[in-house]
Each structure stands twice: as structure tokens, then as C-alpha cells.
A and B are shown apart, each in its own frame.
Chain A
Amino acid sequence: MSPADEPAEAASASDDDAADGPVRRAERLLRWYPRPWRDRYGAEFTELLVSDISERPQSLRRSLDVARGGVQARLADAGLAGFPLPVATVGGVGTPAEQARQRQVSASLGAFSAALGAFLVFAAALWSQVLINWQWFAKLNPGLPATSTVRRLDQAPGGDAFFAVFSTDAMLVLLFLAVLAAMPVLAALVGRIARGRQPGLTGPAIVLVAALAVLFTGGRHFENNWVGTGGHHALVPSGLAAFIWALTLFVSSWWAHPALFATLPGAEQAWMALSPVILAVAVGSSTVLVRRVRLSPRVAAFEACLGLLGCVTMAAFVGCYGVWITAKVRLEPGLPLGLTVGATQATIIALLILALAVAAQAARMAARAVRRARA
């Protein structure tokens, strides 16, 4: 290469850099979108972005528009908004538009199952913790005067008794609906795995079974430390209450009190750290399975209907909890340990409301997609 060639090469390299700049920026913007969307529209969308960036190098409006579109596409991919991608899947039945509607039903039901799983975990934790507090307070203070907080709340509508009975009913209804919804999905899952018709199910199914086995074993072991003795066992079998308490032990104000937390046995501390991960794995793998297993239109409609019923029950639980906590604060602002509205309970309320909002949106989208698929 002669020295005379160097400027030409440098200019060429500079041109390449200039051309790469918009491409790199376009590719960065493309990351806002989920993978299925990028697989379908990525190449052409990048071309459009490159042209747009070349014309208008700086545009905040474009960046915000792409970000908003990407979030919208991610919500659509999660079955929580918008329209499904009009692409055919390998082994899918029907036209691409029909397959897209089926995918939206699956995605929305998957999102609902994830929200329901999260709601059940936190609601169960709240329910078992409050039940323990209530029972212990009653047991440790047998001689309390009739005007004491617990006695007074026991007798008052909107007090502990109301919350304990109503929340237990709501939890049992939710569990019943969850089991009812799981049965046809389980049947479809087993059938498809046994016939080997649909790949991508066996792995998540094994993970789910393993996670449930660990949760069952751990829950049975740590329920022996159940502190909810005495009180109102008639509401729910104490063994079941102890098991649920052990499963949700990690949702505890002990985390916020290092001195108290340090006094717990090492195994219990380890379980408090491990169980949320296992619960997340169980909820995650069941969500993947619900999204992947192809349900018949009739089963999908049944699931969507149960989803709407589940939302009503969840709303009743949250409403009941709101009534209870309001009554507590109103009757006695400075309640003993565990009965105050602390950061843990406030966080749980926020999480319950968030899970309810996601579940309601997912159920609504599933019902809409089912109606469209029927039409």
C-alpha cells in the first residue's frame, strides 16, 4: 500500500464508522422489544430506524416513541396488552391469525397464573402471620379485661374474628379455584408429554415437580416450629396452617430486626433464604407450562372464566384486609409487636394490589382473546 492510498483508506474507514453509527444506535433501540418481536420485525425496523436516524440524528421524540413501543410489545408478549404477533409457530394448527389468538390466550393465562401464584404466596404469608399473632396474643393474655384490644376486636365487626374467618374463606376459595384451574391444564400437559407431541414441556415440568418436592419436604420439616398454638384452630386444620406458615416464613418482619433474626436456628435462616427462590421457580415453571401447553378452546374459555372468578376473590381478600387494618389503626394506634401496620405489612399490601392488578388485566385479556378466537 502506498502512502497515497492512506488518506483514501482513512476516509473510507471514516465513512464506514459514520454508517455504523446509525446502525449501532438502531440496534440499541431495538433492544427495547422482546425477542419474538425482534425475530419478526427486527430487520425491517432496524432499516427504518437507520433511515430515520440518518435524516434526524438527534430526536428525543423518536427515542421515547421506540421505548414506549417496546414496552407495549413486551406487555403484549406477556399477554397483558395489545395484539399478538401475527406469526405462525412450528407445529401450530390453523392460520397465522388463529395461531396468534391462541398464543394470546396462552400468554394471558400464563400471566394470570404468575400473578395468582404471587398473590397466593403473599396472601398466605399474611394470613398465617396474622393468625399466629392473634392466637399468641390471646393465649399470652388470658386475663385481659374486656376492654382490651383483642377482646374488643373479637367482638366487633371488622375486627380480628371477621378478618380471620373471611380471609380464611377467601384463601380456601382461591385454593379451590387454583386446583380446579390446574386440573385440565395438568391433564393436557400429561397427555402431550406422554404422546411426545409437543417439545419444550418436559424440562419445565421436571423443574416444577422438583421445586414442589423441595417445598413439600421443607414445609413439612419446618412446620414443626409452628408457633401458632392455641386460639382458633377451628378455622383451618392446624397442620395445614403450620405448613403454609413454614412455606411463607420468609415473608416476615424478622428480616427487619437483625438481632431477632440472628437468634433463629441456622437451618431456619437458610430455609428463609432458600424458600422464596424455590417458590419463584415453582411459579415461574408453572407459568412457562401454562404458556406452552396448547389448550382446547373449551378449556381455555373455562380457564378464563375461572380467572375472572379468582380476581373477584382476590379483591375480596384485599378489601377484607383493608377493613381489618383500618379497624386496628382506628381502635388502637400502638398495638403490640406484630399487630402494628409496619413496613412488612405495607409492602405486602402493595404487592397484593399489584398482583391483583396484573391478574385482573391478564384475565380480561384472556377473556377477550377467547371471545375473538370463538368469533
Chain B
Amino acid sequence: MAKRDASERADGSALAGFGRYAGPATLILSSLADGPKHGYALTKDVESFAGVRLAPGTLYEALARLESQGMIEALAAEDRRRPYRLTTAGATALKAHLAAQARVTEVGLRRLGANWSTLKWGTA
């Protein structure tokens, strides 16, 4: 169990190491978890499930980083559009990253719930 946790932390930190592109990278990997997509389809899909429209420059910066880290791979171009798909390394990194996020979410919600009725927070 401890070994598995360490492995997950390592994989999760690989994605967190993207700095300001960690957010876009998570959204892209989450979108590709549903199947290969090209740039425009990725933008629309992310917009539909996250309510965030990835700007073209940000999208391709994150795509290039993910590809250079072997987390996604490019497929043969269709016309002038090139689809990308998730690799095993990308799926592992995404799973670990989302699991870490889920733990944070769970703790945050649990603490909020425990203190909600007592209103321990300031009003500012």
C-alpha cells in the first residue's frame, strides 16, 4: 500500500511539474480519456465538461509538453487536423493526479461540512 502511494505521488507530481500548464494538461488528459481528439474537438469538449475555453496558444503549449513527456501521442493527420490519444503513462499520471485532487476535495468538503453549522469563519 505504501509502495502504491509513493508511486501515485510520483506520477501525480509529474503532472504537477507542468507549473501553470498543470490545469490545462489535466483538462486535456481528461478529455482524451474519452478517446482521441484533435485540437478543435478538445477545445469544445473541455468547454462542455469544465466550462473553460482553452485559448489556442495555451492548448498547444500544454499539448507539446504532454507529448514531449510521452503522456499523449499524435496519430496520423486527418486532412490538416491531427488527433491525439492518451498513452499508458498519461493515463497513469492522470489517475494519480485526479486521485490526489479527490483526496484534497474530500478533506476540504468534510471539514467544511463539520464546521458549517458552527460558522467558525470570519465575515470579511
Tell me the A residues contacting B by CB distance below 8 Å: 37, 41, 43-49, 51-52, 61-62, 65-70, 72-73, 82-86, 97, 100
| A65 and B58 within 8 A (CB) | yes
Kindly list chain A residues whose C-beta atoms are within 8 Å of the C-beta of B64. Answer: 37, 41, 73, 83, 85-86
Kindly list chain A residues whose C-beta atoms are within 8 Å of the C-beta of B79. Answer: 47
Kindly list chain A residues whose C-beta atoms are within 8 Å of the C-beta of B59. Answer: 48
Query: A43-B80, A47-B81, A48-B43 are known contacts. Are A68 and B57 too (CB-CB below 8 A)?
Result: yes
Shortest CB distance B74–A (Å): 8
| B40 and A47 within 8 A (CB) | yes
| B82 and A100 within 8 A (CB) | no
Query: A51-B40, A97-B70 are known contacts. Are A45 and B56 too (CB-CB below 8 A)?
Result: yes
Query: A43-B80, A47-B39, A52-B56 are known contacts. Are A69 and B68 too (CB-CB below 8 A)?
Result: no
| B56 and A48 within 8 A (CB) | yes
Kindly list chain B residues whose C-beta atoms are within 8 Å of the C-beta of A69. Answer: 56-58, 60-61
Kindly list chain A residues whose C-beta atoms are within 8 Å of the C-beta of B61. Answer: 69, 72-73, 82
Could you tell me how many residues of chain B have their Cβ less than 8 Å away from some Cβ of chain A? 23
Kindly list chain B residues whose C-beta atoms are within 8 Å of the C-beta of A85. Answer: 64, 68
Shortest CB distance B3–A (Å): 19
Kindly list chain B residues whose C-beta atoms are within 8 Å of the C-beta of A82. Answer: 61, 65
Q: Within the complex, which residue of B39, B58, B68 is in contact with A83, where a contact is CB–CB below 8 Å?
A: B68
Chain B minimum-CB-distance residue to A48? B39
- State A52–B55 Cα separation when bound (angstroms): 9
- State A97–B58 Cα separation when bound (angstroms): 21
Kindly list chain A residues whose C-beta atoms are within 8 Å of the C-beta of B55. Answer: 61-62, 65-66
12 contacts between A and B (CB under 8 A): A41-B64, A45-B39, A47-B39, A47-B80, A47-B81, A48-B40, A51-B40, A66-B56, A73-B64, A83-B65, A83-B68, A97-B70
Chain B minimum-CB-distance residue to A71? B57
- State A62–B54 Cα separation when bound (angstroms): 10
Query: A44-B38, A44-B80, A46-B80 are known contacts. Are A86 and B67 too (CB-CB below 8 A)?
Result: yes
Known: A44-B82, A52-B43, A86-B67. 8 other contacts (CB 8 A): A41-B63, A44-B39, A44-B81, A47-B79, A48-B40, A67-B57, A73-B61, A86-B64
Query: A48-B40, A86-B68, A97-B70 are known contacts. Are A43 and B56 too (CB-CB below 8 A)?
Result: no
Shortest CB distance B21–A (Å): 9
Bits for B14-56, please: 1 = Cβ < 8 Å to A, else 0: 0000000000000000000000001110010000000000011
Kindly list chain A residues whose C-beta atoms are within 8 Å of the C-beta of B77. Answer: 43-44
Q: Does B88 contact A (CB under 8 A)?
A: no
Kindly list chain A residues whose C-beta atoms are within 8 Å of the C-beta of B68. Answer: 83-86, 97, 100
- State A49–B67 Cα separation when bound (angstroms): 20
Kindly list chain A residues whose C-beta atoms are within 8 Å of the C-beta of B69. Answer: 83, 97
- State A84–B65 Cα separation when bound (angstroms): 8
Q: Within the complex, which residue of A37, A65, A83, A86 is in contact with B56, where a contact is CB–CB below 8 Å?
A: A65
Shortest CB distance A77–B (Å): 11
Shortest CB distance B7–A (Å): 16
8 Å CB contacts to A: which residues of B62-92?
A: 63-65, 67-70, 77, 79-82
Kindly list chain B residues whose C-beta atoms are within 8 Å of the C-beta of A86. Answer: 64, 67-68
Chain A minimum-CB-distance residue to B42? A48
Chain A minimum-CB-distance residue to B55? A65
- State A62–B68 Cα separation when bound (angstroms): 24
Shortest CB distance A20–B (Å): 15
- State A322–B40 Cα separation when bound (angstroms): 53
Shortest CB distance A145–B (Å): 61
- State A61–B56 Cα separation when bound (angstroms): 10
- State A84–B38 Cα separation when bound (angstroms): 21
- State A84–B68 Cα separation when bound (angstroms): 7
